[in-house]
Chain A
């Protein structure tokens, strides 16, 4: 009775060892030995089965490098020579051994065998491809593919390079065998998280993993190893069966170690005297395996006995029977508990059969015959057919794994080969970057053609360097020198090619010689390395648009530690407004800022390119200075990456010391002009330098000023401060005010909103005082609380609204309690722009009693809303507010003065409204952003090298609609 299935899978792979320039490369013999001893014998077995009309099933994975060598005419013609010499040697052996019947019989066996193969090869013109196709078309053999050069995929760094390995493999397979593969043999069964997504994307339906990969899947699979498991992306993973593997593989108790089988290591290439064997070994006299071996394994540490073909043949048949019986028992026992017919997957290296295990092809022949003809319990099947029979399967996540020593990556990553990866990964990244670069160039001339040729050859070199064979050899310490040389040479050529692309300087002769040295994958496409996001038209269009626009308009890097929506003080706002107005003048502005709570990345915000960068920890968690430094590192890294992708800024505009390290570093690194706007100084914030941290910041500010080509300040006061503290020359400085946007006219909806806020905050009919800003000492809020407490008897219906957050919030709230005015004061914390604007409109007086204020943008904002203003006569405020003209001023830090001025304002509503109208019209003329942005662009232009005169007009006056 039929219980289950057996899928036999052979994996055939050799690294690309064709050496066109010389015919004496020892490693190139691998392909000829494998063809003669494994591939041809297996093909012959299969053809004989077809001839005998046996309905067998076999799955064969042929790696794309092997396929490429099999179709290569040079390899074919060299194989012809190899075969001819082997036949000749066998002939000599026959004559030589006439006197020794046992040897003679064996020599004749080889001669007959080799002649049979010659006949077969002559029939097929030495190409194995048509024979493979014929098997494929018979429906008995399913041929599947492998990664292009057999790279160990878990250690490939980028998705793009994995995709290139997969797609190049599939395309090569399809071109040579005329049929698209549905399954893949993952090199070394190497799987890693996410690989299934790329397999799915490439149209692959199934792959193979080692048994522990399935056993350790999550969730635990119900059918164990006897059914495929789907990955999250619905690609099927087949587990190779442990017992079936061990029976054939094991060096301890596997079949190939049987004493009756032929001994691999006794070869006449090593046994015969030099004069006799010389023509058949390496020209330099290095002895090699000739394939003629006369002994059987015999036993351990005993004299080797003569090989007996008859005995060995019987053993192969017996082993096939034994193997089959085990599979029968396996499926019988499994079928009892499973809800369907179980599948046993037995996978082996094809080279084991014939080359290492001489009787392997006979074993295969017997096994396939017996199973197809005589077993009523086990049927042969291909994995593809099993999936058709049972399309529904459990789904699970598979762990990273391989079939190598200990089941993971240690064969391909250890002290002997780990040095490879920094080079390979770098090459991958450079490949992707170069492909992006060429992809962006719009020209199609001769140079572009060379560019594409270079990239394609670079792709071949990179993939060849990625072959897992090299790290495998280094691990096994066999032909290490050859492996190291191969990786080195491929990567060296790769970097040369990339350099040609990057510099746009091509050496046609060199390119051609590289193409001729490694003529595989003729149809390789450099586009495989293009990031998936680049395929989306809109993204690249935007970038192309940006690149094309460049050349006429300056590209500015604007560095600011804060930027909307993350705004603490006036700085973020000022940078945002400036950026917007620069963009309107046609300047390309890239703002680099911290990501705060937002996701790092880039966005387009009203024409501004905003790049939010991540720090290693958030500002609250770290000591502030370290956090600032990390922000600076991240900014530089982001710009470095932008430059790699072909975006070159013209000028850096830094805002305050917090971005100083990045600004100074980038100026040095790329020799860019640097403008710094000094919004405030540590010295002013603390009325002096009192602590080591303040000294540190003070030094940073000095350094930034020193290195900058130009320093912008926003008030005459700041100009004097910078000159005084850092000894800066006035010629290097430029006064550009901060501006304000004119608010829209009052609409009905806004009035309604204002009433809502008024109710919500419980504001009565009495006068409302408003303060907005950070709650730090220098803003003088404590003075304001004191003043209100003194005025409350005269104005019992007075309320004070305080918007903003800061370290002094709790202290100020306590203070309000102690003054007994807690019920008159509203602490709102941080408020959004919209709400803030409403509060400006509601306020009867906006009060800014700062001790230190480098500019005082809030004063301008109050003025723009027509809110009567009271400000301290300090810093920039002094330049904005003229007493009794557009507002009133108080002596900084003087409570009495504050009380007096407040009292006057509260008692003279008409005067205060008159002054606020004066202020409003003044703001619109003097502090308009359009005007200030134009002034900024003029400054930029003075620092930008070689702007063509005809473009100057564009820079300053043209406006983008």
Chain B
């Protein structure tokens, strides 16, 4: 074969090869577009579903504390000869009486006052007001008994069903039998909305209230948020020092022998152990053996600590590895001991790296759900935990609980809202990390 013939052969195949090249390139672009498309779809779905849940149908009504309905005596005043205990008894008796008042009647009167011509009966009227509104009125009255006989503007949440109807989360063309609200109630809600007596107000209670089953519209994330916060605190307090110390030991001090090899393999393997296995460990050891309380953020935090430890160790080690050996040699050469070299000169250089490792670990811990289910953190808890030993939920677990709620129309949006809060928290953490990192790096 002459060189000319060879050249012709190559030329003949050239266009096909270039086509193949183009196709391959196209596959690459397609893969990236798909991956980016998934990111976009995920966020579009969550934002489009979740953002509406941050506003909620809210009544602004003039509530009249009608003495004919609120039939209670004056709030007792402590007399001089009364002991504190007697006074407390009297007050609680009075509060019990206030609770016995038919506050629903007060609410109904306020709604009727806002829409005098409504045909809805009292049940239908109350079906569009959130069930805990009566407790709010009671609390208002207990705090200020002078309200008796007065008319004051009050904001009350609409019920979940009314919120669904007004936002169009439920198909408005469905026949009566399939609607959650009766026809007069729906008409009343529409009318009040049109007149501005119901408005879509920002739902602050998502951040300030705890979870609620009886009053779903007022359910909030406060308990889960504090629970997650406690767990993160436990993780930071335990995983960071232990992780950094162990990384420093393995990277700077450990002799190369079978024992350290074992630790090394161990850590790498632990990083890839499924999170649910850590949950099993927590259930068997922390709950069953050490008898830590079920659903407590402390137990959850410990499980998450063990889970994030490998992440922190691996990231810290790679930060330590990146420190130039000249730094160590210089310190050793000036007579510093090995420990002094590491803790005074090597470790400070890695602070940005350790910080990033911490944030990655904490973000991972913050979003973890499966192990928490096994140590009972999916229990329904309607209070903000006061200490890490109290029962509590956590943000991702709250998401899990809400997505399983029977009132799908309402809780699908609520779940997405909770996801937005969780993702927002993670984003904030990462932003803080980036900010601190750039500051630390500038100093170094």
A binds B: no
Residue numbers of B with Cβ under 8 A of A are none
